[in-house]
Structure 1
Amino acid sequence: MKKLAVVAIGGNAVNRPGEKPTAQNMIKNLSETASYIVNMLDEYDIAITHGNGPQVGNLLIQQEIAKNKIPPFPIDVNDAQTQGSLGYMIAQTLNNCLKEKGRKREISALITQIIVDKNDPAFENPTKPVGPFYTKEEAEELEREKGWKIVEDAGRGWRRVVPSPKPLDIIEKDVIKLLMKNDVIVIAAGGGGIPVVLEDGRLKGVEAVIDKDRASALLAKEIGADVLIILTGVEKVYLNYGKEDQKALDRLTVSDAKKHLKEGHFPKGSMGPKIEAAIDFVEATGKECLITDMSVLDKALRGETGTRIIKG
């Protein structure tokens, strides 16, 4: 019997550093990603998640340029748009790769809404930078007009920040389970899912961004995954990363992961959310989380590389 895996693909799978974010480049990169994922299909049934930060950012910049002609959409709608565009690209490249290998599988990219708590503390303290840079004058005007929180971003200008609330429940989880039971490769929870709240029993989108690794852990728990695989730009997790005494980790217990996280080894903007997601999944299920680079995924699945986060 095949194992069930949630595979979270990182930004490098879509855009390479220094590369123009054109649709052609994204499809080229995702074609390579697809080949690694297709190699898993003999042993795993797969749900795929993906980020969308740069794509939502670019969409917000496009909206800013065109705002005098076309009214801008809120961020939850932008999330939905990028789930659609990236889901289409991932599904198409997977389909093409399967055909090249003489295989046949159904693939479905699913628009995914995720419930968050409207009283989540993140709404009182927005921290996630999104969209274009503004001058100080523009920032002050937008704060007055729209009630946005805008902060200075490392001396490069002023930028909007939005909340990043904790994901609580996936609206489409039963559909995802049904598709997977019928041997469908599912692409879901793109960009961390579209954040929604419940108001008087009705769903309402909110302007926020859910961390895609936290959403991937939630999806993995909801569908009973045997393993959560987080693909990123490094082969293993490191202590003292980038320093002379950096140390690669083959295995990492939950207790050690918490300790190293508290010590600051895993920064908030990079490895931190991945380790938090791994802890969440492993603590809740007793299963393993694998963190590695997609180029060595085959070796990592055989236990030859990558970092495994385990109980303990």
Structure 2
Amino acid sequence: MDYFFSRRTFNQSKGKFTKDFAALTRYARVPEPIAEAGAAHLISRDQWLQGVLSSATTNDVVIFVHGFNTSQAEMLIRQRKIQGGLMAHGFGGAVIGLDWASDGVLSGYGRDRTDAKKTAPYLVLDGIGPILNARPGIRIHILAHSMGAYLTLRGFSQVGDSGAPGTHPWGVEQVLFLAADVTVGWMEAGAWGGLVMDHRCKRLTNYYSGFDDVLALSEINKFGTAPQIGRNGMSGPLPGRFNDLYCGEQYDRTVPQAQRSVRYSHTWYFDNAGVYQDAARTLAGQSAASMPTRLPASNGDQALRV
């Protein structure tokens, strides 16, 4: 059973979600196998919380925040890949999704970015806050891909301590950014993104790759020449709780040439056992220096061990 919360509109007559932004958050579950595109069972928030928490064998909940050009069906496929990949390496928590109104088309970048920004506060108000209040000792983690990292940053910056009722102040445990569509300058020392994440999470791990052709296009089309942390890493000095993890060699050595494409250079993380092995250890709170999944990189960062 998959659980997600969504800011897509829901067509009542067809019983399906659409690709448009909604004025309210809906809670849903989807049984195996993945339902017809857009179809899901709507449930109350209380039913959803009960289902989410009962699906975990630990007090851990990972919220997957998908990126640009992602349909709801594709979001669910990736959510299941994440759950299976983490479980294979000992993670026993729940994996749920925030489904926001991506058009699911390559030409929709501008609209997707607008909808991500509009959705951002509801990651906290309708997801993180209710889960934190549902059970003492719950540990929430964020796994955000591509534009989902931008949404996460915006959400964390837009909601103050009083924004998640009953949690003063609120925060999460581990934040994992994969192929993050986030400008490097935002994460520099003293910049707004770095300050927000330093305040709201116990650790930020940025998985990045110089082979990411989608982010290479994003850097040119969006801000002229602004580098993105999902392709270049973060710019130091960084807070001690921030870690850059270079994954380019993992991609270059493990992804066959026949499988490579512009888009896959941005999404291959979801199919890589090495990424999940490291992510499971990260979610468990293991120190970055002691992880056997990592090696020192020549630029001073760490690199995913191939």
TM, length-normalised to structure 1: 0.35
Q: Between Structure 1 and Structure 2, whose CA radius of gyration is higher?
A: 1
TM-score for the superposition, normalised by structure 2: 0.35
Q: Which has the higher contact order (CA 8 A, sep 6+)?
A: 1
